[in-house]
Amino acid sequence: MTTFDYILLMLGGCGVILVLGSMGLLHKGVIKLSTASSKEAVSIQFKQTIRVTSHYPAIALFIVGLTGVSLAAFMAKPSTVRPLALEGNIKARDLSSVRIEVTAGLCATKPATDGRVIDTISPQVKEVLVEIKAPGCNPESRKFGTKEIASGKAALGDIVLDQKIEMPEVSPENIKPATVSLPPLSAPGGFN
Amino acid sequence: MKKLLRLAVLCLALAGLGWHTTSAQLAMVEGGIYSKANAPIPGLTVSLVHPVVGRSSPCMTNAQGWYVFHNVPARPEPYYFEVYWGTRLLYRNTYLVQGPRVLLPKIVL
């Protein structure tokens, strides 16, 4: 959890306390809706643009609490990333060894004149590169821009991978025995 | 007493900084793989394996038979460097990864 998450949690918690507290005060009779006067009003102002004035303190507390809860819920909502459907047909001698790598391009930036990099990027996918690779074949690639990303569909078309090099003979002298137990090739990559 | 405490905190902070800088050393490892006819072999799966760090994300050779690993943690012990044709192991050797850029020798299969 980040500091922002903790702040959101505190905001939501304060909102719940305010809502429940105002209801509790009303229930106990500490504050009453009937005793409201035009002189004693609770006013909340935000940046001189939004101003809420109420002659009923309980309602004002309730609204502030509800706003806190709603704001926390709204800000904690995960950003929706639209999926991109890839469609195409690949022809290769050994389809089991074909690997499709997809990389997303976010944006490009430049360093300052003194070499420092100070930039803020918005992580929005602007370009998707699909590379189709197979052993002994030259890789094929397709690039998709914002138009295809927005449509949610990327048509790869027909891709033919020509066998350029045949598989070399497996020579035992090329394979040094491992003295320790090594994770299999299918093991998740820890670095790159 | 306060001076001693401050000195201890400063020493701990410096030690932590030193540990952080040594543990964050990453290297770029690259090289080329060719056939006996000296033609580059594209599409080979290349991987670095270390008993402590684990296995790298697989990398594939490009049309020029070239591969690049960008963030390999520098270690005093050697890495196992493996080359696969699909899932078939063709080559394995050990190489040391130290310094910011490591160029592995040309591999002929």
Domains, chain B = 25-108 (2.60.40.10)
Helix residue ranges, H only, B1-103: 2-23
Neighbours of B28 (CB within 10 A): 15
**Between B63, B80, B92, which is nearest A139 by CB?**
B63
- Under DSSP, is residue B16 helix (H, G, I), strand (E, B) or coil? helix
Using pLDDT thresholds of 50, 70 and 90, give the confidence band for residue A100.
Answer: very high
Contact status of B99 with chain A (Cβ, < 8 Å): no
- Average pLDDT (B90-95) is 96
Distance, CA of B48 to CA of B31 (rounded, Å): 12
Scanning every residue of chain B, which has its alpha carbon at the shortest distance from the alpha carbon of A98? Answer: B86
Contact status of B29 with chain A (Cβ, < 8 Å): no
**pLDDT higher than 50, residue B17:** no
DSSP states of A117-147: ----------EEEEEEE-TTB--EEEEE-HH
| Interchain pair B85, A167: CB under 8 A | yes
Over residues A134-192, the pLDDT tens digits come to 999 999 999 999 888 889 899 999 999 999 999 999 999 999 999 988 888 888 887 87
Cα of B34 to nearest chain A Cα, Å: 10
Give the residue with greater pLDDT, A115 vs A44.
Answer: A115
Pairing of β B45-50 and β B54-55 = antiparallel
Cβ contacts of residue A159 below 8 Å, gap of 6+? A88, A89, A90, A91, A132, A140, A142
Question: Looking at beta carbons, which residues of chain A come within 8 Å of B72?
Answer: 191-192
User: How much is the ipTM here?
Assistant: 0.73
Over residues A43-58, the pLDDT tens digits come to 667 667 777 676 666 6
Q: Which CATH number, 1.10.530, 1.10.1060, 1.10.1760, 2.60.40, labels domain A85-110+121-164?
A: 2.60.40
- Average pLDDT (A72-93) is 82
Residue ranges per domain, chain A? 3-76, 85-110+121-164
Pairing of β B79-85 and β B45-50 = antiparallel
CB A130 within 8 A of CB A111: no
**pLDDT higher than 90, residue A118:** no
Instruction: Using the CB atoms, write b or e for A43-63: b if 16+ within 10 Å.
Output: eeeeeeeeeeebebbbbbbbb
Question: Looking at beta carbons, which residues of chain A come within 8 Å of B39?
Answer: 164-165
Question: Looking at beta carbons, which residues of chain A come within 8 Å of B77?
Answer: none
Over residues B22-73, the pLDDT tens digits come to 454 899 999 999 999 999 999 999 999 998 889 999 899 999 999 999 999 9
